Structure 1
Amino acid sequence: MGVVDPFSIARAAGLELTGKSEGLTLTDGTMELRADFARMLPRLKQGRLQQELLVKAARAKGVEQPWAIDATAGFGEDSLLLAAAGFTVDLYEQDCVIAALLQDALDRAADDPALADAVARMRLHAGEDSIAGLRHAAELVEQGELVAPDVVYLDPMFPERTKSAAVKKKFQLLHHLEQPCADEETLVEAALAVRPRKVVIKRPVKGPLLAGVKPSYQLAGKAVRYDVLVPPRP
């Protein structure tokens, strides 16, 4: 199998990837989309960061160097919050176009003193299937060759709403590339199999449970909620 070319994949979806001074840009001719961590800086300030619901949901008490697997990385903004809070984060993004945009954002952020420390803790697995990655990690944990992650984070793309205004314009471009999760049960099973301290799942605030799995507890904001599964410790 040859190297996957994100530029060709974008063109096949009726989109165009172009290198601009601001960074790698995806466009359909009317809208432009770029991954950019600089706009996250206000949320990374220490007082504000600790109030982020995701940081609260993922917090691993008593762990000096926590490790998270973000199985649905997208543009990596949630992973950045976790990395800024001290997590090492492995990011899986299967779509090669989105992964290329994310890698570009990581490269640019590495040169920004305000972001460099956080992004140094972010490791992108571009074009890799997260379910396969989780299953491989679970085998290594089972064999004692790998310590289980503290958190597995799941943020599968929300189903498209019927009201077009409810879908942010920039995400309309992503729907050309990535579809809502087709096999929720397998994703949750793979996340639990790696024996994390907790699985954190991002959902629309009034959305259904992912795969119908009842969480141990929930943290809800105005637009999203986090369902937290806490498996029994062996």
Structure 2
Amino acid sequence: MPKQYPETPGLAARGFAFALEPTDEGLQLRARHRPKYAPLRIDWTSREQRRRVAGGKKQLLARAIGLHKHADLHVLDATGGLGRDAWTLAALGARVDLVERQPLLAALLRDAHTRALADPQHAATAQRLQVIEADAAVVLGGDARWDVVHLDPMYPDHGRHALPQREMQLLRELVGDDADADALLAPARAACRLRTVVKRQLHAPHLGDQAPDFQLAGTQARYDVYLAR
């Protein structure tokens, strides 16, 4: 009998119906309320993920985190999402704690991690990463400390932009708008030894209305970097 996963409170109330399905290729998440959409599955060994890793330590993410200066950073990715940034950082040498509070998404992340551990070509990277199902506020409020804390909260949807790609649309429906994101900045800064890095849309306001020490900007997004005091 397939493993049963509990319904997540709040999804049905918002008109969303998600179901986890085991397959030969790994666990996938089907949006039953969007029958034309392909199921969501996390694969950190995909061509797209390999392209991200190939960007090396000169790419914006790695530079914002500080991997071009420090070889072995301990990073907390406090808003895990699909885990792509966390995997990229682990592949570039960091030790990464990946936190995700949404249970269905956390299940997909654990499945991707298990498959990567079993792949001889990717096991070394997978061993530098751990998946933690928890609320970021709880993790940051504990006694643990990291060299860098990375925050990538879901951007608020004000209905003024074109619909994102289907994968990101499902992710938004699954996790919501991260309305409590502003409250994460202070505990993140308290929990880091070197810096806190916040990924934002290019013209989005600063998290918590706090200006960073410096920014690294691309064409669509930027990284706000807050140095430890």
Q: TM-score range by the shorter chain?
A: 0.7 to 0.9
* Aligned position for 2:138: 132
Distance 1:171 1:62, change over 3 A: closer
Aligned pairs for 1:179-198 (under 5 A) are 179-198=176-195
* Aligned position for 2:7: 8
Matched, 1:26 2:14: no
Kept in 1, the 8 Å contact 2:163–2:169? The answer is no
| Structure 2 unaligned residues grouped into runs of 5+ | none
Q: Distance in 2 between matches of 1:171 and 1:83?
A: 23
Match of 1:165 among 156, 162, 167: 162
* Aligned position for 2:103: 96
Distance 1:61 1:164, change over 3 A: closer
Kept in 2, the 8 Å contact 1:202–1:227? The answer is yes
Matched, 1:41 2:50: yes
The residue matched to 1:102 in structure 2 has which SS?
Answer: helix
* TM-score scaled by length of structure 2: 0.86
Q: Distance in 1 between matches of 2:177 and 2:71?
A: 35
| Structure 1 unaligned residues grouped into runs of 5+ | 141-147
* Aligned position for 2:81: 74
Aligned residues: 216
* Aligned position for 1:207: 204
Q: Deviations over 1:164-184 (max 9, x none)?
A: 634221122223321222223
Q: Distance in 1 between matches of 2:219 and 2:5?
A: 35
Distance apart, 1:117 and its partner CA: 1.4
Distance apart, 1:27 and its partner CA: 1.4
Match of 2:114 among 107, 128, 131: 107
Q: Distance in 2 between matches of 1:63 and 1:72?
A: 22
Kept in 1, the 8 Å contact 2:67–2:94? The answer is no
The residue matched to 2:58 in structure 1 has which SS?
Answer: coil
Q: Distance in 1 between matches of 2:45 and 2:190?
A: 35
The residue matched to 2:177 in structure 1 has which SS?
Answer: coil
Identity between Structure 1 and Structure 2 (%): 34
Q: Which moved more, 1:158-167 or 1:72-81?
A: 158-167
Q: Distance in 2 between matches of 1:202 and 1:115?
A: 26
The residue matched to 2:174 in structure 1 has which SS?
Answer: coil
Query: Following TM superposition, where does structure 1 have runs of at least 4 consecutive aligned residues deviating by more than 3 angstroms?
Result: 10-13, 60-64, 163-166
CA RMSD of aligned residues (A): 2.1
